[in-house]
Amino acid sequence: MRAARLIKMVLLLQNRPSMTAAQLAAELEVSERTVTRDALALSEAGVPVYAARGRTGGYRLVGGYRTRLTGLGRDEAEALFLSGLPGALRDMGLEDAASAARLKVSAALLPSLRDAHESAARRFHLDAPGWYQEPETPELLAPLAEAVWDDRWVSARYRRGDGGEVERELQPYGLVLKAGVWYVCARSGSSFRTYRVDRFTAVAVGEARFDRDPDFDLPAFWEERSAEFTRSLLRTEVVVRLSEAGARRLPHVTDRAAAEEALAAGTAEGGLVRVVLRVESEEVALGQLLGLGPEAEVLAPDSLRERFAEAARGLAELYR
């Protein structure tokens, strides 16, 4: 642990002209007294760390000293590819590995390029969670992430949608962060399944490793399962007559794929378009299609048409 901290300290000083004890302590997450001891240890080991006193003082490397300790470890290399997802790295316990990897890459660059990561960070930020929700880190995400990185078997208890719990022996292949919600894609028996991480009630990472299926493609698997899940939700059909404006806005108020499919198969009716739209339920359709106002008229089923009539009467009474 201390050896890794000493290397990180050297890399920090190599990338900056000078750093105060307070700055180093903050970066290394230690006390300033520990920074002083570490600087002394480096100096005794032959690393020319110089401490300048006074208001403009700080620690610096003397004589253009360069370390060649810039080789990336596996965990650092893997974390580096996720460095655009700082929140996800923190949730999976990989923040330190990513920080070390960035420092090593910076140390290997030409002096004129060492601010590249800061320049990129000032210009691009990926915010994965959706609007209007406060993302929560699942309690058992870190051990699952550990198992994913090391290809280790997991014994787990999982809470199903009906509230019951099941025990599973899983081979966790990958993690997916979708709109602020974490999922793990894992092999259970002979099939691959998707589990919400926040529904795990217990996770025990085993010592045994499994052999990954070389044909497993995480992005392709997720895309396929996501499409299947969406289709499974759309179990109800409604018939809607749309104006030109309503047709343009339909993909923005309901499932985009379902809306585009309905519009492609729609029939023209005197400047309007009649579509058969797949929706999750009449209740969901009511909330979605009300957003189109007078640009959409529900034709069927009769029960949904009556609910729209009731909503219209209520609005008319409210705004009389």
Residue 75 has pLDDT above 60, yes or no: no
> For the segment 4-19, what is each residue's pLDDT rounded down to a tens digit?
787 788 778 877 778 8
Cβ(194)–Cβ(175) under 8 Å? no
pLDDT at 70: 52
pLDDT at 60: 83
Give 80's pLDDT tier (boundaries 50, 70, 90). very low
pTM of this prediction?
0.53
Q: What is the 3-state secondary structure (H, E, C) of the chain?
A: CHHHHHHHHHHHHHHCCCECHHHHHHHHCCCHHHHHHHHHHHHHCCCCEEEECCCCCEEEECCCCCCCCCCCCHHHHHHHCCCCCHHHHHHHCCHHHHHHHHHHHHHHCCHHHCCHHHHHHHHCCCCCCCCCCCCCCCCCHHHHHHHHHHCEEEEEEEECCCCCEEEEEEEEEEEEEECCEEEEEEEECCEEEEEEHHHEEEEEEEEEECCCCCCCCHHHHHHHHHHHHHHHHCCEEEEEEECHHHHHHHHHHCCHHHHHHHHHCCEEECCEEEEEEEECCHHHHHHHHHHHHHHEEEEECHHHHHHHHHHHHHHHHHCC
Average of per-residue pLDDT across 16-30: 85
Average of per-residue pLDDT across 162-177: 91
Average of per-residue pLDDT across 44-59: 76
Quote the percentage of the chain above a pLDDT of 70: 75
pLDDT at 308: 94
pLDDT at 103: 64
Quote the percentage of the chain above a pLDDT of 90: 39
pLDDT at 71: 53
